[in-house]
Structure 1
């Protein structure tokens, strides 16, 4: 039997996964969607919070930060951003 806390977490993970896969910018979909598939289950609450904030960033900005085309603003520097900076190369091998 699952607790309400577990059900809330699963609902949040499903919402974040949906948002990660449906950005409207194919390159961002590939990176963020695959990252979500690989990591959402193991993220802490704090990491989920960070990922959720990153998903609010416009696609072109976030994509530029992920591939290091543009510097990531200090307020968006995080362990999740660091992981995405490495992960994007792996994401393209999944297509």
Structure 2
């Protein structure tokens, strides 16, 4: 049985808030609160996959300190824009 959409979004919001690096908690929880409810299934799949990445890598991608893997390019760009607002 697949996870209901509302449960999935709630789980991902919780994982966005409880990372390991405080900066990523703040960045991802703000992004999740603003965007997850409006995402389609493919967007949620990609974000869910991103949540499995290492916080140090995520932080470097979002802040432009390291190259972003192609699969996450647009998503990281969107997260970085949210973070900079």
TM-score by shorter chain over 0.5: yes
C-alpha distance in 1, partners of 2:42/2:82?
A: 19
Gaps of 5+ in 2: none
User: Which residues of structure 1 form unaligned runs of 5+?
Assistant: 91-95
Q: Runs of 4+ in structure 1 displaced over 6 angstroms?
A: none
Residue 80, structure 1, aligned to residue 81, structure 2: no
Indicate whether 1:89 and 2:63 are aligned: no
**Is 1:35 the counterpart of 2:26 in the alignment?**
no
Q: What is the alpha-carbon root mean square deviation over aligned residues?
A: 1.6
Find the residue that maps to 1:72 and give its secondary structure. coil
Q: How many residues align?
A: 84
Within-5 A mapping of 1:4-83: 8-77=4-73, 79-83=74-78
How many angstroms apart in 2 are the aligned matches of 1:45 and 1:80? 14
